[in-house]
Amino acid sequence: MAKKEISYNEAVSEIEQIMKKIEEDQLNIDELSNNVKHVAGLIKLCKKKLHKTQSDIQKILDDIDIQ
C-alpha cells in the first residue's frame, strides 16, 4: 500500500514537535539520530512543496501577462 504524502502544515508541525523534544533533552542518543534523519526528510518535503507552489504561482502570473 502506498504511503500518503503528508501536507506541508503536517510536516512543519512534526518538525516543531521533534525540535521541542530536542530542545528539552527528551530524546536519548538513538532516538535523536532517527529523529534528525526524519526531520531532514520532512525539510526536504517542505522545500519540494514550496518550490512547486512557487513554480505554479509563477506560471499563473506569466499566463496573466500573456493575456
Q: How far apart are CA 5 and CA 16, in angstroms?
A: 18
- Domain extent at residue 36: 9-66
pTM for the complete prediction? Answer: 0.81
Q: How many domains does the chain have?
A: 1
Q: Which of 61, 43, 65, 49 is nearest to 7 (CA)?
A: 49
Closest CA to 12 of 34, 48, 52, 39: 39
The answer to the question of residue 2 being in a domain is: no
User: pLDDT by residue (tens digit) across 15-63?
Assistant: 999 999 999 999 999 899 999 999 999 999 999 999 999 999 999 999 8
Residue at 1 is within a domain: no
